[in-house]
Structure 1
Amino acid sequence: MAAGGRGKDPLVADRRYSSRTTAPAKKTAAPKRTPRTPGPRRRHGLIVGFVLFLWRMIWAVLWRVTAVALLVYAGIVFYFYSQLPDLNALLDGRARGSVTLLDRNNKVFAWRGETFGGQVTAGTVSPYLHNAVIATEDKRFYWHFGVSPRGIASAVRINLSEGRGPFEGNGGSTITQQVAKLLCLGVTYDPAHWKTEAEYEKDCRSGGMWRKIKELPFSMAMEAKYSKEDILTIYFNRAYLGAGARGFEAAAQRYFGKSAADVSAAEAAMLAGLLKAPSTYAPTGNMQRARDRAAVVIGLMQEQGYLTKAEAAEALAHPAQLSKAAAQKNGGFFADWVMETTPDYLARTTTEDVIMETTLDQKMQSQAEEALKWVFENKVKAGSKAQAAIVVMSADGAVRAMVGGRDLPQAGDFNRATQALRQTGSAFKPFIYAVAMDLGYSPLDYVDDSPWSINVPGSGVYSPKNYDGKFKGMITLTQALAESRNIPAVKIQELVGRDLVKKVATDFGVAQNLADGPALALGASESTLIEMTGAYAGILNGGSSVTPYGLRALKLQGEEEPLFGQGGGIGERVISETAAHALIYMMTQVIEKGTGTRARLNGYEAAGKTGTTNSARDAWFVGFTADYVVGVWLGYDDNTPLNGVTGGGLPAEIWHEVMTRISEGSEPKPLPKEIPGNTVTGVPGAMPGEPVPYDPNDFVQPEDVPYFDGSNPNKPGMTEDDLADQILNDVQRNGAGN
């Protein structure tokens, strides 16, 4: 109807089917689906699920454990943070104080203990020094929080590549970690835990993984507590830099004689180079090694922009030089001796900074060392292991120079001048003649140098022999001493009294293990060189005892008043001045005509005595001019006999070389010598200052002159037979030969 009515096509739906299909298609059964079998896909899903589950479990535990660990670590850091003291309390961390030794002219020549030059800051030291330390030790110092993982990893790689353990050798420590070590991780020295401070220090400096782990929170606590410049300040003050110097100020003063604020680029590089190994690179030990290390530091400074190419070239072209005081390598034995003779609490174990004013003459010290070196280079067979010692002393006992061995000493080395007890040989004989002179005998009195024996209870007959195996008959006491005749020496000792000889020797300072028998006269007793030199100084000063000393005054740093003064000097009188002057005359003849002619000086009067012990195990020469006493000992440390050496040989030559050098430029002075009964030096009729004639042909007993037979001076006519009877009777009756 509609179609017919409107003439339009009917409204129909779009065709959904092909024109071939006129009816709806028949329904067909759906294709059967093939069942999915459990294969790889199904298994993969299970594994992933399990892994995810496991990860969720691990993560749940891990983040909680990590959180707890971080809280614990933060607590440890906070604990260290709360324990850290004020900055100023950390700058001087020495366990010991320092001792600075000054010579007779108040010039520094040695240091002992740990020297602290005073507090400096990172801002007051030289910019060169500041930058050298950063460039050398921790170039990322301003970019980390106390620990550098990159530095540790690099150190581990280097250590492993060189065959060491991962934490052995290079530690990769930052400056902050190094400061943590210097502070011993806050642990203070406890004598109950560590036997010595050295053990404590060793523990503080120990490495290893566990130590590194403990350093981490302490280092971070420091970074939180102090600024970067504060940490550097602690480092600058506490780092050990060799030669007893603690801190860069002390090191700059020690090596260069200037403040750390004034060091040049070359000096700063050398100081910074010491941080790697202070003892190895100390310029006082090996200057070339120190300069090689400084060159490495200069290269690092240039590489990191702290030095221009021109500045680096200038520093390399003009390397650091030691100050005059630091360059002095002499006086070590003397310094050790002064330290040993000073109370420990002000010397070896002092906690104060001490200044010692001493008697040392650095010029004489050098001259003594040069003399010894010259003799061994020119007079001794190459490769000889023989040792020697020298003491130079004024007449009042002030020690001016001391050589304790041929090698330059390290602190604490064996000092043969003060510690070696050796038999004195004929160097002991002057004390016998000192007694005779003090009893009123004259150097021109006579004694019989002929075969002679004495019975010693408990030992039998003792028969002294002369060194040359000869006998001179009647000779003066002067000739007996000059030629070091043994028989006369023993005779005189037994007749004046052995106990009196012991007393005089002891009062003069020779107090070590004096022999009891008649061999006392021949130097069977032991003594040290410094004791023997001091005893001869007593003869020179007119017969008063001397206590050798090296200390003039001891002060605390910064104070003017000394805690105590001179440690020795002239003591009580031992023999009369007349006796001392007579003995000095006799001892001049040792050098002029006797066994010590090799010691003779050109233009200077000198007196002395040779000494050679049994089997030549020790050889001595001790003597003096009007100004100085010099003692020389030569021998082997193991008591090996010297080959062809006597006191009149090499020791006399060493003495001559020392005395020639130290007397150079001084005006010759006559020795205070005289023969009792004469108003001038010499014999009756001699002019003032004229030497006494000494001709062996003149030593013939005049008929009208009583010879010295050892009897009481009031009995000059005693015969030799009477004398022998008296000696034997006295020995048998008293048992001591008094």
Structure 2
Amino acid sequence: MAGAGNGRGRLVADKRYAGAAKPAAKKAAPKTAAKPSKTRRTKARPKRQHGLIMGLIVGFFSAIWRVFWGITWRLTALGCIILGSIVGYFYSTLPEMEALLDARARGSVTMLDREGKVFAWRGETFGGQISSDTVSDHLRNAVIATEDKRFYGHLGVSPRGIASAIRINLSEGRGPLQGNGGSTITQQVAKLLCLGVAYDPAQWKSEAEYEEDCRGGGIVRKLKEFPYAIAMELKYSKADILTIYFNRAYLGAGARGFEAASQRYFDKSAKDLTPAEAAMLAGLLKAPSRYAPTNSLKRAQDRAAVVIGLMQDQGYLTADQAADALSRPAKLSPAAAADRGGYFADWIMKSGPDYLTRDTTEDVIAMTTLDQRLQTAAEEGLAAALEAAQLKEGSKAQFAVVVMSADGAVRAMIGGRNLDGNDSFNRATQAVRQTGSAFKPFVYAAAMDLGYSPSDYVQDTPLCINIPGSGEWCPENYDKKFKGMITLTQSLAESRNIPAVRISEAVGRDVVRQVATQFGIGRDMAPGPALALGASEATLVEMTGAYAGILNGGQLVKPYGLAGLRLQGDSAPLFEQDTGMGERVISETAAQLLTYMMTQVVEVGTGKRAQMPGWQVAGKTGTTSDVKDAWFVGYTSEYVTGVWMGYDDNTPMKGISGGGLPAGIWREVMTRVHEGLTPKPLPLIVPEYRAPPNAAAAQGGGQTQYPVAVLQDGTLVQVMPDGTLIPLPPGDPIADLMRQEGVN
């Protein structure tokens, strides 16, 4: 059985479970089982654990970072919300672009000469609204290259520009926000708009103070500037922002906006500017007054050269264009280069109605009497005379000149020498000075009007007059000599003092005072007998106008320079004046006799240096007793000119008289003024010759006098050949002699 058992087949039980799983066979070992598994060697290592101390440190800094980040993003979000709110507020306050182009509180005054040509501007000129699309491409490129080369790529603020400005400021030893500000053009416009704060006269003393506050810097200003600039970028296009900039930027010499500046400096529109001219205007933005070409053309050209270099670097100009612009720098227009009539223009502003000149809120056109040719003539004549006189280096002597027509229209004016570069005092219209012997013609005007003749005689002998409260006053002649009996003509021609006093006392001081006042010398006059010698005061323009009255036949002549005013754009004038002539003061005959006497001043008297070949000249010298003032005022048939010389501080002059340098200046000026004119005779009457009382008087002995009579009131008078009675003043030696002889 054993053997059979060893060889038997399957058990019945095995057969009962047909399909059952066979006993598991032993898995064959992989072929690589003999080698260690590589996968087993690269199995991930367990995470390394920090030590206690290191774990605390890492955890501490992780906590700080989580806190910092949490605060930072919350603050950033809050800041963005605040900034957005501020930007939104500013955005809501911004008006339409057109309302921002001209916000001047005051208007401008543009002055035209007698031919209608512009010669001066006052106030803030505005050339009219322009746009960034209509100006010259060169101007637009120059401004962007100079002020904000990333203008088209930022949203109103340039972080790179600010960082660069801070770096420059710190490197130059300034504070981070001192000096260069890194402002974009948009930020500059925000400043021009004063961040939306309007001018309030109750808050600021002047517009200048208001604008100074608007231009202020510092962190607070910048913090306000940023959102305002962003709001502008959101509200306006880049072209709009440039348009506001082009219309509002101040560019020196009273020019507000590039159109006004272009007209002011180059006499052309901003759309016609060359690269050199555009560069010069763009260069003004850095410092308008310093770089204004009317202040220093060389400095303006140097600044323009820098701008041209920037335009080339940024591709706005080719190398050839830049070289051409540098080789032909911008120059001022003839009117701007001449800069004529500055003192005259200031006089116009003060003499016109305030609401249309100094305080105007409109743009006004002022038509004036200025003749630019004559203004040039006056300036050149004065320069030539001073060069010939060889004034000492550093001399502070001042001069004034006025040229006018017979009707009082002022054609040229020099108010002084601008020695310090900032002289606004007009010595022609503002300096009130003693007139000296230049006043004497009005003494003789009174006499001529009362019937005296230039051929009448007067004593040039010692004279003393008792002045109540002051005692005895004894005038002297300039040369300390006496000539006895002389004609009134000789007396004026030689500027004898004693005869002038005698005539003044004879006709009456009140009469002389009245005549002078009616001729336009209306200031308080000396009450005593020194009135005849020019102890009273007047301005040069007043004296010149008074002499014009004599030339004009004895009528009042009021000097004037303003011929009319109108608003810009209007043709109808608001004001007009075509003459300065007024009421008659003395008869025409008296005026013509006086003119004859004044021609003798120039022909044979103290004014010989004023002679003009071919022209009849009438005039009078004037030198005050302390030589603080020297005058020459005279006229031809065409023009009247006055010249004054002196020191502002009233320092006495040495070796100067009215017949010297002032008369020489007068001749140099008038010679140029009369170029091209045909000589015409003066309106004068030559008096009939009258023989002196006797030979002794003719020889200057002065011992034989005209007959003396006693009036009913006891006044002693001389009886002239034509029957004229000349009262003898108290203290007169003849009167004393007659009283001693018992005449009563």
Secondary structure of residue in 2 paired with 1:164: coil
Distance 1:407 1:5, change over 3 A: farther
Secondary structure of residue in 1 paired with 2:575: coil
| Partner residue, 2:42 | none
Deviation at 1:411, TM superposition (A): 8.1
Q: Is 1:521–2:521 an aligned residue pair?
A: no
Distance 1:93 1:6, change over 3 A: farther
Q: Is 1:282–2:299 an aligned residue pair?
A: no
Secondary structure of residue in 1 paired with 2:51: helix
Whether the 8 Å CA contact 1:99–1:111 is kept in 2: the answer is yes
Deviation at 1:567, TM superposition (A): 7.5
Q: C-alpha separation between the residues in 2 aligned to 1:518 and 1:721?
A: 10
* 1:553-597 C-alpha deviation (Å, 9 max, x unpaired): 111011111101118600000000010001101101110111111
| Partner residue, 1:691 | none
Secondary structure of residue in 1 paired with 2:95: coil
Match of 1:54 among 64, 68, 72: 64
Q: C-alpha separation between the residues in 2 aligned to 1:162 and 1:241?
A: 27
| Partner residue, 1:633 | 644
Secondary structure of residue in 1 paired with 2:121: strand
Deviation at 1:715, TM superposition (A): 5.3
Deviation at 1:706, TM superposition (A): 7.2
Distance 1:719 1:381, change over 3 A: closer
Runs (4+) off by over 6 Å: 1-7, 10-15, 408-412, 696-710, 717-723, 725-728
Whether the 8 Å CA contact 1:491–1:710 is kept in 2: the answer is no
Q: Is 1:154–2:196 an aligned residue pair?
A: no
| Partner residue, 2:479 | 468
Alignment size in residue pairs:
690
Match of 1:144 among 124, 133, 154: 154
Secondary structure of residue in 1 paired with 2:345: helix
| Partner residue, 1:415 | 426
Distance 1:408 1:371, change over 3 A: farther
Deviation at 1:64, TM superposition (A): 2.2
| Partner residue, 1:324 | 334
AA aligned to 1:191 is P
Gaps in structure 2 of 5+ consecutive residues? 10-23, 30-48, 692-696, 710-715, 737-744
Deviation at 1:59, TM superposition (A): 2.8
* 1:265-318 C-alpha deviation (Å, 9 max, x unpaired): 111111111111111111111111111111111111111111111111111121
| Partner residue, 1:265 | 275
Deviation at 1:69, TM superposition (A): 1.9
Distance 1:345 1:181, change over 3 A: same
AA aligned to 1:609 is K
Q: Is 1:377–2:387 an aligned residue pair?
A: yes
* 1:596-626 C-alpha deviation (Å, 9 max, x unpaired): 1111111100011111112201000001001
Q: Is 1:347–2:357 an aligned residue pair?
A: yes
AA aligned to 2:299 is R
Q: C-alpha separation between the residues in 2 aligned to 1:466 and 1:322?
A: 54
Q: C-alpha separation between the residues in 2 aligned to 1:635 and 1:722?
A: 36
| Partner residue, 1:97 | 107
| Partner residue, 2:233 | 223
AA aligned to 2:380 is E
| Partner residue, 1:507 | 518
Q: C-alpha separation between the residues in 1 aligned to 2:445 and 2:284?
A: 57
Deviation at 1:55, TM superposition (A): 2.7
Distance 1:87 1:545, change over 3 A: same
* 1:410-430 C-alpha deviation (Å, 9 max, x unpaired): 787000000001100000111
Secondary structure of residue in 1 paired with 2:644: strand
Q: C-alpha separation between the residues in 2 aligned to 1:532 and 1:292?
A: 46
| Partner residue, 1:29 | none
| Partner residue, 1:478 | 489
AA aligned to 1:222 is M
Whether the 8 Å CA contact 2:382–2:665 is kept in 1: the answer is yes
577-586 vs 404-413, greater mean Cα deviation:
404-413
Distance 1:12 1:226, change over 3 A: closer
Q: C-alpha separation between the residues in 1 aligned to 2:161 and 2:489?
A: 81
Distance 1:567 1:417, change over 3 A: farther
| Partner residue, 2:77 | 67
Deviation at 1:54, TM superposition (A): 2.9
Please give the residue correspondences for 1:329-408 in structure 2 after superposition, counting only pairs within 5 Å: 329-383=339-393, 384-407=395-418
Q: C-alpha separation between the residues in 2 aligned to 1:88 and 1:214?
A: 23
Distance 1:526 1:718, change over 3 A: closer
| Partner residue, 1:27 | none
Deviation at 1:197, TM superposition (A): 1.1
AA aligned to 2:143 is V
Whether the 8 Å CA contact 1:711–1:723 is kept in 2: the answer is no
| Partner residue, 2:91 | 81
Q: C-alpha separation between the residues in 2 aligned to 1:124 and 1:55?
A: 56
| Partner residue, 2:306 | 296
Q: C-alpha separation between the residues in 2 aligned to 1:702 and 1:450?
A: 9
AA aligned to 2:547 is Y
Whether the 8 Å CA contact 2:186–2:241 is kept in 1: the answer is yes
RMSD of Structure 2 on Structure 1 (CA): 2.9
* 1:177-213 C-alpha deviation (Å, 9 max, x unpaired): 0000000000000112111111101001111122111
Whether the 8 Å CA contact 1:419–1:528 is kept in 2: the answer is yes
Q: C-alpha separation between the residues in 2 aligned to 1:712 and 1:509?
A: 33
| Partner residue, 2:20 | none
Q: C-alpha separation between the residues in 1 aligned to 2:233 and 2:462?
A: 89
Secondary structure of residue in 2 paired with 1:400: strand
| Partner residue, 2:18 | none
Distance 1:309 1:169, change over 3 A: same
Secondary structure of residue in 1 paired with 2:391: coil
Q: C-alpha separation between the residues in 1 aligned to 2:294 and 2:260?
A: 14
Whether the 8 Å CA contact 2:728–2:735 is kept in 1: the answer is no
Whether the 8 Å CA contact 1:354–1:554 is kept in 2: the answer is yes
| Partner residue, 2:614 | 603
AA aligned to 1:572 is E
Q: C-alpha separation between the residues in 2 aligned to 1:14 and 1:722?
A: 167
Q: Is 1:579–2:590 an aligned residue pair?
A: yes
Deviation at 1:644, TM superposition (A): 0.7
Q: C-alpha separation between the residues in 1 aligned to 2:97 and 2:189?
A: 12
Secondary structure of residue in 1 paired with 2:110: strand
Secondary structure of residue in 2 paired with 1:100: strand
Whether the 8 Å CA contact 1:447–1:710 is kept in 2: the answer is no
Distance 1:549 1:718, change over 3 A: closer
AA aligned to 2:339 is K
